[in-house]
Amino acid sequence: MPCSPRLLEQKTPVTPIGYGAMSLSAYYTNTPEPDSKRLAFLDHVYATGQRFWDTANNYGDNEELIGKWLALNPDKRKDIVLATKFGQVGGGPGRNDAAYARECCERSLEKLQTSYIDLYYVHRVDTAVPIEKTVEGLVGLVREGKVRHIGLSEVSPQTLRRAHAVHPIAAIQMEYSLFALDVEKPKTDLLNTTKELGVALVAYSPLSRGLLSGRLKSPDDLEEGDFRRGIPRFFPENFHKNLELDEKLHTIAARNGITVGQLALAWLLAQGDNVIPIPGTKSIDYFNENMGALEVELGMQDLREIRAAAEKADVRGHRYAVETSPNSYFADTPPLE
């Protein structure tokens, strides 16, 4: 049975699997494809019925690219729930003060060639600004019609609760995959918190940056300029140990006639009606494969086996370069005085 749409704030329907557009522009390559090819790819994304698109103001020319597509297809803007982000400054703490949020929003609106942003995320929280002040600034943008929903990324449950008390938070974006189960752990209790508050959990890197794609066999498969070369999880001394989970999942996937990637996405969808994976790719074939996970219905025995494999896996290496870690995991902000 096809997966039903997910909801933002219990009112805005989105595709159960979103599309993360980052790889069209940045981080995985030094040489993005020509605009003509990337715009044609977005044509395909739209034609398949995919309506939840994710970008950010620090993804190279990604906002500009989507803006070009929207300018060529103005009648289709209303169909798309478009998410972007602000506040991540290099690898250090975010900047979230109200003036900066407004400045970034205005710039993103210009680049995206749109009058509103459906979902505006705080990409990384500001360790110097109480989250209440950040949300108050974003509420001003909501009142002006420039932003429709507010989101957060990589926050603690305490930060989410504080933000949600100021204004409803529609979604939080966290890394969540069979390689990254931290949102479920009692220490964080973040998945349960989102369900309690009615907040969507948008799972970025749901295929663990390719480790769950079934296609990566060696760190040498990564091209020069690919940021994964700097992530400890992909270092040679860790990579092959991490692939052991992929190999265990392959047996379950083969039994169901699906790929490991489809299995990983279908498993996430089964973790709650508020969970929305946003895999990214620049390949039409891989995009179609990812969206095929919407047709996958895993049995209870499969779900138990998958979880057991993930929980027993000896995952090696951090999910980010160590120097970016302090503000990249379940971050808090100062208390409001």
Residues 250-300: pLDDT tens digits?
999 999 999 999 999 999 999 999 999 999 999 999 999 999 999 999 999
pLDDT band at 224 (very low <50, low <70, confident <90, very high): confident
Taking a C-beta distance cutoff of 8 angstroms, is the pair 125, 328 a contact?
no
Question: Average pLDDT for residues 297-318, to the nearest whole number?
Answer: 94
Buried b / exposed e over 189-215, threshold 16 CB at 10 Å, is ebbebbeebebbbbbbbbbbbbbbbbe
- Mean confidence (pLDDT) of the chain: 93
Residue 325 scores a pLDDT above 70: no
Looking at residue 123, its amino acid is H
Compute how many other C-beta atoms are within 10 angstroms of the C-beta atom of residue 251.
11
| Amino acid 119: pLDDT | 99
pLDDT band for position 229 (cuts 50, 70, 90): confident
DSSP reduced 3-state for 337: coil
Catalytic residue (choose from 19, 59, 100, 204): 59
The listed CATH number (3.20.20.100, 3.40.50.720, 2.60.120.260, 1.20.950.20) that belongs to domain 6-211+261-296: 3.20.20.100
Summarised one tens digit per residue, pLDDT across range 202-219 is 999 999 998 998 888 888
Residue 59 designated active-site: yes
| Helices 131-143/157-166 angle, 10° precision | 40
Average pLDDT over residues 240-245: 90
The backbone region for 225, taken as left when phi is positive above 0, alpha when psi lies in -120 to 50, beta otherwise, is left
pLDDT digits (tens, 9 = 90+) for 139-149: 999 999 999 99
User: Looking at 9-18, 35-44, 318-327, which range is the least confident one?
Assistant: 318-327
* pLDDT for the residue numbered 2: 63
Spatial strand order of the sheet with 275-277 comes to 19-20, 52-54, 81-86, 117-122, 147-153, 171-175, 200-204, 275-277
Delimit the domains of the chain by residue range: 6-211+261-296
DSSP code, position 299: -
- Give the list of residues 6+ apart from residue 234 with CB closer than 8 angstroms, or none: 209, 211, 219, 222, 228, 317
d(CA 31, CA 40): 17
What is the band of 103 on the pLDDT scale with cuts at 50, 70, 90? very high
Looking at residue 89, its pLDDT comes to 67
Reply yes or no on whether the pLDDT at 192 is more than 50: yes
Question: In terms of pLDDT, which residue wins out, 320 or 233?
Answer: 233
Q: Please compute the mean of the pLDDT values over residues 298-308 and round it to a whole number.
A: 98
Look at residue 1 in the predicted model and tell me its pLDDT.
47
Question: Looking at residue 328, what is its pLDDT?
Answer: 63
SS3 (DSSP) at 200? strand
**What is the percent of the chain where pLDDT is above 90?**
76
In whole angstroms, give the CA distance from residue 25 to residue 28: 8
pTM of the model: 0.94
Cα separation, 177 vs 182, whole angstroms? 9
Strand partners, 276: 202
Q: With a cut of 50, say whether residue 18 has pLDDT above it.
A: yes
Beta bridge partners of 174: 203
* Residue 91 dihedral angles phi and psi, to the nearest 5°: -100, 5
Q: How confident is the model at residue 63 (pLDDT cuts 50, 70, 90)?
A: very high
Nearest to 16 by CA among 221, 200, 148: 200
Q: Which residue type occupies 231?
A: I
Element (H, E) at 305: helix 300-312
pLDDT band at 197; cut points 50, 70, 90: very high
User: Per the structure block, which two tokens stand in for 48?
Assistant: 């398949």
Answer yes or no: is pLDDT of 131 > 50: yes
Residue 90: is its pLDDT beyond 80? no
- Give the integer Cα–Cα distance in Å for 136 and 147: 13
